[in-house]
Amino acid sequence: MSTSTNSPGVSPVRQSKLTRGQRPKWLIPVIGVAAVVAGAAIASLIGFSIALWALFAAVIFLVVGPLAVTAVEGGRAGADSLMTFLVYTAFILAVIPLVSVIWTVLVNGVPGLTADLLTTSMNGVTGFQDNKAGAPGEVVGGAYHAIVGTVSITFWATLMSVPVGLLTAVYLVEYSRGGWLGRAITFFVDVMTGIPSIVAGLFAAALFGMVFGPSTRTGFVAAVALTVLMIPTVVKNTEEMLRIVPNELREASYALGVRKWRTILKVVIPTAISGIASGVTLAIARVIGETAPLLVTAGFATAINWNSFSGWMTTLPTFIYYQIMNPTSPTNPDPSLQRAWAAALILIVIVMLLNLVARLIARAFAPKTAGR
Amino acid sequence: MSTTVSTEKPGTSSSAAGRAGDSVFSGLSLAAGILILVVLAAVAMFLFLQAVPTFTAAPGDVTGGKGFFAYIWPLVVGTLIAALIALLIATPVGILVALYISHYAPARVAKPVGYVIDLLAAIPSVIYGAWGATVLAPALVPLYTWLTGYLGFIPFFGGPASQTGKTMLTAGVVLAIMILPIITSMSREIFTQTPKLHEEAALALGATRWEMIRMSVLPFARPGIISSIMLALGRALGETMAVALVLSTGPLIPSLIKSGNQTIAAEIALNFPEAYGLRMSELIAAGLVLFLITLVVNMIARAIIARYKEFSGAN
Amino acid sequence: MSKRIDVEHLNVYYGDFLAVQDVSMNIEPRSVTAFIGPSGCGKSTFLRTLNRMHEVIPGAYAEGKVLLDGDDLYGKGVDPVTVRSMVGMVFQRPNPFPTMSIRDNVLAGVKLNNKRISSSEADELVESSLRGANLWNEVKDRLNKPGSGLSGGQQQRLCIARAIAVKPEVILMDEPCSALDPISTLAIEDLINEIKTDYTVVIVTHNMQQASRVSDKTAFFNIEGTGKPGRLIEYAPTSEIFNTPQKKETEDYVSGRFG
């Protein structure tokens, strides 16, 4: 304090020791622009395309940027900037396919969204009609039967898996007390989570095949397959939600002389209901898009079938699959592709809506669980 | 909640009906739990019973004419190749994206990005398959042509390249996109749980952001990252539609950019609808093999998670 | 090895909330400065602005100047990483890296800057740092065991060893003894007295006896009420703060008549 020579207020021009060897602000943007230009040059040497351009620009930037930082600030800063650029690159890489998928479905699906698609089935539609159809609007036939199938099969699967899943979660949280049975169930629920969906389909097919004769294929068989896939999701989520219900609530209820089952039904489950409901919605959203198990269990129908217990059924995912793999008119697949993309659009909208609903449920009732 | 409870008359709940309710309800929930065990046992049993004819059939009657092992082997290898390609792509990208959300993105951006990544997981696999077959496969053809041109001496890139792009590599890329959200969302969860104390310890020593991540975040998250990769692997092994729609199937070949190869799941999906008799039980046996492979992978993942839980509990 | 700190009109914000208002002080090199004050008065927040650790909290920023031997920590183009390698920090709860051995913990900061440190140099540095932290005799036989196996007081001394191994100019300590038992606390206080011959030490403490035992100068921070910013009330040699405080607020606080 005796002298003021140390104070920079007196000599503001002197170079700060802290900023020595810092990269100038323009360095990274300039390298970025240079990389874009150089990328364009190299890409046009090979044969210009936007993908190549982006690729070369990114590679040049990822190499030159960190090297320049290393030259100015040293290896540590260089490594840090390399990782920063890589992280941002990875993020862009992950977003591109999502945008591309949604864009593809929208562009290809919107022209096919006709009244016919939602109100008619493929019954009686043959390659003859498809070959005649010129403009997108002239395509006949639709996905009504597939929507019917999706709704019925999902309905039965939900009806079977939700009570079983819910009760199992109640058992695990409220009754098992960490016993061997509880641990065994937890373990096997984890195992079930990992069952490939096609294997679940094979199981249902094998089960009904042995009981009702080979090649028994109905909507209900598919619903059983989906139940196998849905139960672990419901159990895991419900279990998690029940566990965050504070024990004080249970004890308060017991202290009033309320029986355990009434406590569970009237106190525990209502407290966790929003989380449970949103979990069930997410589970539905997951199985509604399942394709593989339906291929081996529900058969393939072109007509409307509301009866899940007899006759083949088609759902939206299998409808999409068969329209792409086996177009109605093999020589002119465009009408089939149009129907497939329109059905894909409907399916994506349904799945997104279910996700949104799940979020809204969780949010709408959130204050009730805020006591934790 | 308290109003619901207080409307309960003590008299009714201590009555015989109340007591019966208790045992009925606990019995029901126990039954549901046991039902799950029964279902899982049934899955294994019915698959096994239906698969038995394949094992007892004369080798000449099995597809390919050389017995079940010769039939399933290329499929197992194909399944592993597809899953490995997917993992090789999805692991680094998925972890980096998780880091982006947890440690790089501004708070305002991180949340919506996490939501978008979850949406990526919600899109049905058949749509990924359709996209892979119609958009991605043709887009990759020039790359494949280039690969055989310059790297054709490596068996993986042996030519001539497929002109439709419907190859193992394309299927692997589609699978990678599908499992990426699994790795990202699990890793992100663990990254954000890194104790602030350890992050601050690194920063206070003058660590850069990346050095801080290497010193405190990654060591803490390592078991979680490994198990997320294993779970993603389980998913990639069992995924059907992406491969069924994207891959132009054929016998097992080393080149990843020619038509050829096949996975178990896609083999079942493509052939089961028209199968009967021995062919059907062959496919079910293939399903059993797939089930066992994914079971092992998932159990390893669970074991890692369990060990990690003990580890973090001690801290 | 040791630098002076001059703070000029520093305001610290968490988003819109002004946490610390208009603090100016000069901290001499090779001295121990203690920050005392009631909880929530901003003394820890202020301490963190001395090596820009407050920036770890989203939305936190500071206005004003903090000069380290005349160089503004908040000047244009200053990298917080550089700042933190010059101004070390010891935290409230001991935080050795759980996956590293004792030896690796001590070397953690050094390895960042000097990856190719020879093993004999590293051994020397580990020993001198651990000796400097009065921990050598207790851990010399288990340098390769994890640091999380030590007692709380040992862990905290390990963190001090880790901080002095990078040879910083200043060491900040944020209530370093609040999670420790009295014996470990005494060991840390002895250590502070020893290291002040080489370093500028700034310590935040809740314990006034501790402040009077270890510090040369003491700064008293206070807050008028919840939602109000913390302010520096008085800054003077420690004996003055505790015996002849100039401000009534200080006197009330140090004599226990606070609140």
CATH number at residue A184: 1.10.3720.10
User: Between residues 238 and 277 of chain A, which touch chain B (CB distance below 8 Å)?
Assistant: 249, 252-253, 256-262, 264-267, 270-271
Neighboring chains of A (3 or more beta-carbon pairs < 8 A): B, C
- Ramachandran bin of C42, using left for φ above 0, alpha for ψ from -120 to 50, beta for the remaining angles: left
Strand order through the sheet with C5-14: C71-72, C60-68, C5-14, C17-27, C230-237, C217-223, C32-36, C200-204, C170-174, C87-90
Is C75 inside any structural domain?
yes
pLDDT value for A48: 64
Nearest chain A residue (CA) to C78: A19
- Calculate how close chain C gets to B209, using CA atoms only, in Å: 9
pLDDT at residue B9 is higher than 80: no
pLDDT category at A86 given cuts 50, 70, 90 is very high
Domain ranges across chain B: 2-46, 60-314
Higher pLDDT, C52 or B303: C52
Q: Specify if C11 maps to a domain.
A: yes
Q: In angstroms, what is the C-alpha Rg of chain C?
A: 18
Percentage of residues of chain A with pLDDT beyond 90? 18
CA distance linking residue C159 with residue B204, whole number of Å: 11
B275-287 confidence digits (pLDDT tens) = 778 888 889 899 9
Judge whether A21 lies within some domain.
no
Contact between C164 and C88 (Cβ < 8 Å): yes
- pLDDT band per the 50, 70, 90 thresholds, residue B17: low
User: Looking at residue C35, what is its pLDDT?
Assistant: 93
> Quick one: how far is CA A20 from the chain centroid?
49
CATH number at residue C59: 3.40.50.300
Q: How far is A3 from chain B (nearest CA, A)?
A: 31
| Cα separation of the two ends of chain B | 36
Q: What angle do CA C33, C35, C40 make, to 5 degrees?
A: 165
pLDDT reported for residue A44: 77
With CB atoms and an 8 Å threshold, state whether B205 touches C53.
no
Same domain, A47 and A161: no
**Residue numbers in B near A224 (CB within 8 A):** none
A76:C67 CB<8 A = no
Please give the average per-residue pLDDT across A106-117, as a whole number: 84
Residue A32: other Cβ atoms inside 10 A: 16
Supply the mean pLDDT for chain A.
82
Closest C-alpha to A201, from A172, A229, A162: A229
Give a yes or no: residue A150 inside a domain: yes
| Cβ pair A258:B40 closer than 8 A | no
Q: From CA C231, how far away is CA C11, in angstroms rounded?
A: 9
A231-275: per-residue pLDDT in tens?
999 999 999 889 888 888 888 888 887 888 888 888 888 888 888
The reply to whether C57 touches chain B by the CB within 8 Å rule is no
Count of structural domains within chain C: 1
Average pLDDT over residues A122-145: 73
User: What's the pLDDT score for residue C258?
Assistant: 56
Report the distance separating Cα A66 and Cα A91, nearest Å: 18
> Are A267 and A142 members of one domain?
yes
A4 domain residue, yes or no: no
Which of chain A's residues have a Cβ under 8 Å away from the Cβ of C235?
none
Q: Contact at 8 Å (CB) between C241 and C250?
A: yes
- Between these two residues, C217 and A260, which has the higher pLDDT value? C217
Query: How far does the CA of residue A177 sit from the closest CA of chain B (Å)?
Result: 12
pLDDT tens digits, A304-336: 887 777 778 888 899 999 888 888 877 778 888
Same domain, A133 and A84: no
- Tell me how far apart the alpha carbons of residues B86 and B94 are, in angstroms, rounded to a whole number: 11
Residue A134: pLDDT band (50, 70, 90) is low
- Comparing alpha-carbon positions, the chain A residue that sits nearest to C114 is A76
Domain count, chain A: 2
Residues A75, A134, single domain; the answer is no
Statement to judge: residues A274 and A179 lie in one domain: yes
Of A49-58, A92-101, A354-363, C69-78, the least confident: A49-58
Q: Which chains touch C (3 or more CB pairs under 8 A)?
A: A, B
Nearest-neighbour CA in chain A from C110: distance (Å): 12
Residues linked to residue A143 through DSSP beta bridges, in sequence order: none
Which phi and psi (to 5°) does residue A20 adopt?
A: -65, 140
Sign of the Cα torsion A317, A320, A325, A328 reads positive
More confidently predicted of C107 and B19: C107
Does the beta-carbon distance from A253 to B268 stay under 8 Å?
A: no
ipTM of the prediction: 0.83
At residue A4 the predicted structure's pLDDT band, cuts being 50, 70 and 90, is: very low
Domain boundary among A50, A79, A111: A111
Between these two residues, A163 and C116, which has the higher pLDDT value?
A163
Identify the domain containing residue C200 by its residue range.
5-94+171-254
Query: Do A175 and A311 belong to one domain?
Result: yes
User: Of the candidates C4, C72, C73, which has its C-beta nearest A6's C-beta?
Assistant: C4
Percent of chain C exceeding pLDDT 70 equals 98
Closest-CA distance of chain C to residue B274, Å:
56
User: Half-sphere exposure (CA, 13 Å, Cβ side) for A82?
Assistant: 16
Dist CA A42 CA A34 (whole Å): 12
- Please report whether residue C102 resides in a domain: no
Beta carbons of A6 and C69 less than 8 Å apart: yes
Query: Does the predicted model carry a pTM greater than 0.90?
Result: no
Residue to substitute from A4, A6, A18, interface C, most C β-carbons within 10 A: A18
- For residues A59 and A208, state if they share a domain: no
Q: Is the pLDDT of residue A9 over 70?
A: no
pLDDT tops 90 at residue A20: no
- C72:A25 CB<8 A: no
- Give the whole-angstrom CA distance, residue C57 versus residue B83: 40
Contacts with C, B 216-255, CB within 8 Å:
216, 219-220
Give domain status of residue A19, yes or no: no
Q: Quick one: closest CA in B to C56, which residue?
A: B200
Question: How confident is the prediction for chain C on average, in pLDDT?
Answer: 87
As a whole number of angstroms, the distance between CA C77 and CA A18 comes to 9
Look up the CATH architecture of domain B60-314.
Orthogonal Bundle (1.10)
- Neighbouring CB atoms inside 10 A of A178's CB total 8
User: Burial level of B150, CB count in 10 A (0-12/13-18/19+)?
Assistant: exposed
Non-local (6+) Cβ contacts of C218 within 8 A are: C33, C34, C35, C36, C211, C212, C235, C236, C237, C238, C241, C242
- The answer to whether the Cβ–Cβ distance between A76 and C78 falls below 8 Å is no
Contact C72 A7 (CB under 8 A): no
B207 touches chain C (CB under 8 A): yes
Tell me which amino acid residue A55 is.
L
The per-residue pLDDT of chain B, averaged, comes to 83
Q: Rounded to an integer, what distance in angstroms lies between the CA atom of residue C216 and that of residue A371?
A: 48
Q: How far is B93 from chain A (nearest CA, A)?
A: 5
* Cα dihedral A86, A21, C48, C196 in deg (nearest 10): 130
B168-226 pLDDT tens trace? 999 999 999 999 998 998 899 889 888 888 898 898 888 888 999 988 899 888 888 88
Q: What is the extent of the structural domain holding A72?
A: 27-111
Structural element, H or E, at residue A334? helix A334-364
Question: Of all helices (H) and strands (E), which one includes residue C195?
Answer: helix C182-195
Does residue C147 sit within a domain? Answer: no
pLDDT of residue A106: 92
What is the reported pLDDT for C173? Answer: 92
Q: Are B100 and B113 in contact (CB under 8 A)?
A: yes
Is residue A2's pLDDT more than 50? no
What 3-state class would DSSP assign to B207?
A: coil
Of B107, B197, B216, the CB nearest to C58: B107
Q: Do A76 and C113 touch (CB under 8 A)?
A: yes
Taking residues A279-298, what's their average pLDDT? 88
Q: How confident is the model at residue B16 (pLDDT cuts 50, 70, 90)?
A: low
- How high is the pLDDT of residue A70? 83
Q: Which secondary structure element, helix H or strand E, spans residue C21, and what is its range?
A: strand C17-27
What pLDDT sits at residue A345? 93
Mean pLDDT score, B9-33 = 73
- Please judge whether C75 and A22 are an interchain contact, meaning their C-beta atoms are less than 8 angstroms apart: no
CA distance C67 to chain A (A): 8
The verdict on residue A152 lying in a domain is yes
Contact assignment for B201 to C81 by CB distance below 8 Å: no
Question: Tokens 């899940």 identify what position?
Answer: A308
Nearest to A6 among C70, C82, C83 (CB): C70
Q: Distance, in angstroms, between A16 CA and closest chain C CA?
A: 5
**B40: its two tokens:** 């899982």
pLDDT band at A136 (very low <50, low <70, confident <90, very high): low
Would you state the structure tokens that stand for residue A16, as one six-digit string? 């700060």
Please give the pLDDT value at position A5: 41
Most confidently modeled range among A57-61, A259-263, B297-301, C123-127: C123-127
How far is Cα A189 from Cα A228, in angstroms, rounded to an integer? Answer: 10
Question: Would the pLDDT of A68 be above 60?
Answer: yes
Question: Is A18 contained in some domain?
Answer: no
Residue C22 domain-assigned (yes or no) = yes
Considering only CB atoms, A18 lies closest to which of C28, C78, C112, namely C78
The answer to whether A238 and A279 are in contact (CB under 8 A) is: yes
pLDDT of residue A11: 43
- C77 and A25 within 8 Å at the Cβ level: the answer is yes
Nearest-by-Cβ selection for B241 from A51, A182, A291: A291
Interface check B311 vs C, CB under 8 A: no
B208 with A76: Cβ contact below 8 A: yes
Average pLDDT over residues C198-210: 89
